[in-house]
Amino acid sequence: MFNKTTLEITQLRGRLAKEVLKSRHAEDRIRLLEERLRKNEERSNALFNAASDAIMLIDPESACFINFNTKAHSNLGYSKEEFKKLELADIDIVWNKKEIYLLFAEILQDGHRSFETRHRAKDDRAYNMLINATRISLKGRDIIQYICTDITSHNQTKDELEDSKGKYRDLFHNSLVGLSRTRANDGKLLEANDRLASMFGYKDRQQMLDEFYAPSAYEHQRDREHMIQTIIKDGEIQDYEVFARRKDGSNIWVRYSAKLYPDQGYLDVVVVDITNEKNAEKEKEYLYTKLAQSQKMEAIGRLSAGIAHDFNNLLTVIKTMTYKSKKDADQRSPLHRYLSLIDTATEGAKNLTQKLLIFSKKQTTTFVTIDVNKLISNLKEILQNLVGSKIRIELVLSGDLLDIYGDRGSFEQAIINIAINARDAMPDGGLLKIKTENTITDGAKTFNMILVTITDNGIGMDKEISRRIFEPFFTTKPQGESTGLGASVVYGIVKDHKGNIEIESTLNVGTSIKLLFPPAPKRSTLTGKLLVSNNIDLSGMGEHILLVEDNALIRETTSLLLSENNYLVTVTNSAEHALELFRKDPETFDFLLSDVALPGKNGVELAGLILLVRPDLPILLSSTYTSNKLQWEEIRDKGLAFIRKPYDSTDLLCKIRKDLQVKVSLR
């Protein structure tokens, strides 16, 4: 039994030793595990505090901070000790304490929640924060972990981006130019502003986005093809002008600029409406053309006037010598007949120079009583030559037509201008009808106006053209074919004669122009050619005439004419020499016959100076025309007598004799 007990004790001791050994081994294991745990905790704390975001562990029951990392308090400007005394409601601007508890309840239930809020720093600055809140377990209880990311700068950038986008949208939609974005592969319109929609005739941008078809926006497809090829080659196109087509088919001029963004697959396009600019350029070019045409016509007019002037001087010599030769020849002789033929031809040449002066607008305005019917009848042959054989001219002239008081050349010019316009309106021929009649206007009881109606059955005009027809430079003819002055000249002539002009026109029917003139006042008729009785003696009575003429041939032939008609003649070629002769003995001269156009002082100035000394001296001025309108008005205002070259010798002698007789009767 003792041995058994001893064995048991020995075994017990062995087991005890083993247990002691196990215990020591367990302690070592525990110490090792504790060391590992400590190191893990240190590592976790290091990571916890080294995190770039603020991390907070919060008690969901009190909303106080259980733990937090360095970023949590340093980002908000607190020390660790200061932050320990705070709770979440002290730093959260958005959520109050009651709302925080409700939020925590949702997080504990759902396990996670992300949201944005704002945290207040110690210095009262606010920061935008993105919160990732998670339910975690710590020492057997659920707590809330906040991971807080500062998104203040991100939100600021986001706000700035949104603001920039808003400004871009405003700029895009309110721009004064058309803007669009177009898909590169097929030209599909992806975006457009209202200005572009209005430009192309759509009611708004949405209608344009729905209905716009790129190829139809080009009047010429070669423009579109050129744009596409240029953009493919260069990636852009700048300031390319296109004659575009609007939704309703009308046209506008636009200037395209576009840039390709190949990675995005679209084009950004800027479109500027340059229709007004193009129209202005066209109008400018048109006005330049009109100016050039007007200058050319003015140059031709001056040339024509110069030719007419020189030719009239020659005709004056021919007519004077023909008159003298006819007077000396036997009326029954062949010579007298030959001279009569020369005289007739000279009269025709005179009429031709009158037409040149009318064309050049250099014709002297001389108001006389005009037999309108006779004037139109005499003009018919000229008109027929102007309008051509395909147009028939019909005259319907009133038998009792009143005379008008006006300028013969201007009246002829008005009729000719209207006839030319009628000819152009009847390219295939037609009828040109000229009708005269007395008429009553403004409620008068008797005839108070003479009406001349000129009608054609040509292409006619619409109301807009009829309204503008009398505007200077306005024309419906192709560029370069007309000055646009013909109708405006007619208007000016009619107004100068205190008349009115009316126009009635219908497309494809014809045009009727009515010229209304007041009748001539009751006075002795002067038709431009004095009617002299064969019984009146045109010879002088030895009177002394001072003849001032710079043309040597006219000076010689006129001197011969006057001398042979019993006048004493002193001749000179300038006003200055004439004044010198006159001042030597003012009483020696009985009459002054002077050309208007002289070298140095002109004939009007000469007459004025002589009249200061001899107010009673009869004066007769002559010229082919007076180029200065004010000069002609001065002639009329001073009551100076005037005879137009080439004058008939009979007319000249009659005027001299008449003026000398008036002088005698006044003594």
Write the pLDDT tens digit of every residue in 332-388.
Answer: 888 878 877 887 777 777 766 666 665 555 555 667 889 999 999 988 988 898 888
Across 85-106, average pLDDT: 91
Mean pLDDT, the chain, integer: 82
| C-alpha to C-alpha distance for 264 and 209, rounded to whole angstroms | 19
- Across the beta sheet with 430-439, the strand order is 391-396, 430-439, 449-456, 510-517, 500-506
Model pLDDT, residue 528: 39
Say if residue 664's pLDDT is above 80: no
DSSP string, 457-470: -SS---HHHHHHTT
Specify the 3-state DSSP secondary structure of 373.
helix
DSSP state of 215: G
| C-alpha to C-alpha distance for 260 and 269, rounded to whole angstroms | 9
Across 598-611, average pLDDT: 91
Lowest mean pLDDT among 251-265, 431-445, 456-470, 625-639: 625-639
Task: Name the percent of the chain lying above pLDDT 70.
Answer: 79
| C-alpha to C-alpha distance for 72 and 80, rounded to whole angstroms | 9
- Is the CB of residue 547 less than 8 Å from the CB of residue 562? yes
- DSSP H helices, 497-574, are 552-564
Pick the more confident residue, 429 or 330: 429
Residue 248's contacts (CB-CB under 8 Å, 6 or more residues apart) are 201
Neighbours of 581 (CB within 10 A): 16
Write the pLDDT tens digit of every residue in 10-61.
Answer: 777 677 767 666 666 666 666 766 666 566 656 656 667 777 788 999 999 9
Task: Name the E strands within 11-90.
Answer: 54-58, 65-68
Lowest mean pLDDT among 224-238, 581-595, 634-648: 634-648
Model pLDDT, residue 33: 63
Q: How confident is the model at residue 663 (pLDDT cuts 50, 70, 90)?
A: low
What's the token pair of residue 58?
């919060």
Which residue has tokens 């004790």? 9
Classify burial at 270, counting beta carbons within 10 Å of its beta carbon; exposed 0-12, middle 13-18, buried 19 or more: middle
Across 256-277, average pLDDT: 91
Model pLDDT, residue 20: 64
Write the pLDDT tens digit of every residue in 464-479.
Answer: 777 777 665 566 665 5
